[in-house]
Amino acid sequence: MLSPADSIVPEWLVVPDDANDLAVAVWPASATRDADGALVLAGIRATTLAQTYGTPLLVIDEDEVRTRARAFRLAFDAAAGDNGTTAQVYYAGKAFLCATVARWVVDEGLRVDVCTGGELEVALAAGVAPGSIGFHGNNKSVAELERAVAVGVGTIIVDSAIEIERLAAITARVDTAQRVLVRVISGVHAETHDFLATAHEDQKFGFPLPEAEAAVARIREIPGLEFAGLHCHIGSQIFGVAGFRESASRVLELHAALLEGGPVPQLNLGGGFGIAYTRVDDPTPIETLAGEIVAAVAEGCAARGIPLPALSFEPGRAIVGTAGVTLYEVGTTKDVELDSGATRRYVSVDGGMSDNARTALYGAQFSARLASRAGIGAPQLSRVVGKHCESGDIVVDHEYLPADLAPGDLLAVPSTGAYCAALSNNYNHVPRPPIVAVRDGRAGVIVRGETVADLLSRDAGLETGTMNHDEGVAE
C-alpha cells in the first residue's frame, strides 16, 4: 500500500541513503565535499564563492567544459578516421555563449555555431575565426546575412526559400562565394528516451525533404553560393543513437540523389546529445555514441554506393550542461500539508525562474544538494522554488534534502550550465546573477551580474522624470 507521502513522489525518485551525496553524472568531476561537509568546486568552497560573489551565482567549471569539448572532438575524429572521413564539432552557442566559453571551446579544437546576429557578434568579439563559424536561424534578417557574408562566416545554414534569394542578392553585390548547407527536416523527432518518426513535421525549421531538392537546385544556379551539403537536427536531450540513425538514413536518400547534380561534400547531423539532470539519467559515453552514429552513416553510404561525406555535429548542452552549478541561499522553508495527507516542504531560494526557466518552461527535472555543510537530518521530500510572483516558479520539482535544511543555508543545483543563463530574464525586475568560472582553486567573473541600477538605466521614464514624446514617431 502507498503511504500518504508516496503519492506525491514521482516513480523515478528514490530516497537516498545519504541526502548529501553527489551523484557522479550530474556534477562536474571536480565536485566534492571538504572535511566540514561543504561543497567544493574545482578546489574552492561553495561558501567562499557565495561570500565573494553573492547569490544566486552560476559557477562554471572550466576543466569540465574543456574536457567535454575535447572528448567530443577526439571521439568524432576517431570515429570519422576509422571510416575514412573527417568530422568537425561545432559548439552550439545557444546553450551558453560568452567570450570566455567561446575561447575555451575553440582552444579545444571546436568550431562555433551561432543562431542570431547577437551570438555572431559575441563569437566575433571573442576572436573566433569567422571561417569556423556556422550561422543558423529560421529568420535571419537581411542585415544579419549581410554581416555574416561581410565578415566571412564559414557556413550559413539556409532555412528557407526566401533566405536563398536574400543570399543571392547579397552575394551578387560582393565578390565572394558563400558556403551554405541546407537544413532539412527528416521527419524524425527525438523525444528524450524515445523518438518519433513522421512524414510531415509541423514545425518552423528547415525544408521538408520533398522540397529540399528544388532548394538545392536553386542554390546551385546562384554564382555567389557554394552548396556544401545537408543539415539535420532532430531535437535535444536525446539518449541513444536510434533517432540519429533513422534520421541519417532518410537524409542520405536525398544526399545520394543530390550527388547526381554535383558535389555534396558534407553532412551535418546537428546536436542534441543528452546529459544527466538527475541520478536516473544515464547518458551513453560520447565515444560509444560517436562510433555508432558515424558507423550508421558509413553503412548508409555503403548501401547506396556513395562516398562517406565529411561529417559535422553541433553539441551544446553536452559541452556545458554539467559544468554549471547554481548556488542559492535558502530564504524560507514551509511545510505544506496536502489533501492526501502528505506533506511537501517548500524551500524558497533567492533566484528562480529568472535564472532557471527550464523547469517552468519544459517541466524539466533538476536535482539539488545542501552546499554550505552536510545536513544531519533525514531525507525530506522537498520542492525548491524561487522568489518570483508565480506558483509555477519552481527550480527543482522533486528532491530529497536533509530535514535540517534552514534559512541561510546554501543550496546547489547542478547541471545548470546549458540553457539557464541563456534563457535568463528579468521577470519581476530581478537582476541576472553573475557567472564565475572556477579552475584549480581559482575563480573569476566571466559575465558580470546585473544590478538594479542596470535595470533602472533602461527605464526611459526615469531619465528626465517624464516620458519624452518628442522622440516619438509623429504622423
Question: Minimal distance in Å, beta carbon 230 to ligand LLP?
Answer: 13
- Closest contact distance (angstroms) between CB of 271 and ligand LLP is 3
Among 98, 232, 301, 389, the active-site one is: 389
Residue 92 binding ligand LLP, by CB under 6 A? yes
Contact 317, 237 (CB under 8 A): yes
Residue closer to ligand LLP by CB (options 76, 273) is 273
Tell me the site size for ligand LLP, rule CB under 6 A: 20
Asked if 233 is part of the footprint of ligand LLP (rule: CB under 6 A), the reply reads yes
Whole-Å CA distances, 441 to 31, 41, 217: 12, 8, 56
**Is 420 part of the annotated catalytic residue set?**
no
Stretch that binds ligand LLP, among 279-287, 288-296, 315-323, 451-459 (CB under 6 A): 315-323
Please state, in angstroms and rounded to a whole number, the distance separating the CA atoms of residues 289 and 307: 21
Using DSSP's 3-state secondary structure scheme, residue 388 falls into coil
Is residue 315 close enough to count as binding ligand LLP by CB under 6 A? yes
Cα–Cα dist 333/376, whole Å? 17
List, in order, residues 6 or more apart from 411 with CB less than 8 Å away.
Answer: 327, 328, 329, 330, 347, 349, 368, 369, 370, 371, 384, 401, 405
Q: Which of 469, 452, 401, 445 is nearest to 19 (CA)?
A: 401
Q: Where are the alpha helices (DSSP H) in 42-194?
A: 46-53, 62-82, 99-107, 117-125, 142-151, 161-173
> Shortest distance, CB of residue 463 to ligand LLP, whole angstroms?
34
Chain centroid offset of residue 72 CA:
15
Residue 317 binds ligand LLP (CB under 6 A): yes
The site string for ligand LLP over 125-164 (x = CB under 6 A, - otherwise) reads -----------x----------------------------
Burial (CB count <10 Å: 0-12, 13-18, 19+), residue 168: middle
Q: How far is the CB of 320 from ligand LLP (least distance, A)?
A: 9
Q: Which segment (34-42, 97-105, 314-322, 371-379) binds ligand LLP by CB under 6 A?
A: 314-322
At position 445, the amino acid (one-letter code) is V
Binding mask 260-299 for ligand LLP (x = CB under 6 A): ----------xxxx--------------------------
Q: Which amino acid is at 260?
A: E
193 vs 313: CA distance, rounded Å: 20
Question: Which of 305, 284, 291, 303 lies closest to 87, judged by CA?
Answer: 291
Is the Cβ of residue 362 or residue 461 nearer to ligand LLP in the bound state? Answer: 362
Among 27, 135, 328, 419, binds ligand LLP (CB under 6 A): 419
Query: Closer CB to ligand LLP, residue 270 or residue 291?
Result: 270
Least Å from the CB of residue 420 to ligand LLP: 8
Question: Strand, coil or helix: what is 314?
Answer: coil
Asked if 352 touches ligand LLP (CB under 6 A), the answer is: no
Residue 233 or 387: the one with the smaller Cβ distance to ligand LLP is 233
Within 10 angstroms of residue 78's Cβ, the number of other Cβ atoms is 15
Stretch that binds ligand LLP, among 22-30, 213-221, 308-316, 390-398 (CB under 6 A): 308-316
Q: Please, which residue, 236 or 380, has the CB nearer to ligand LLP?
A: 236
Residues with a known catalytic role: 389
Q: What residues make contact with ligand LLP under the rule CB under 6 A?
A: 92, 94-95, 136, 233, 236-237, 270-273, 314-318, 358, 362, 418-419
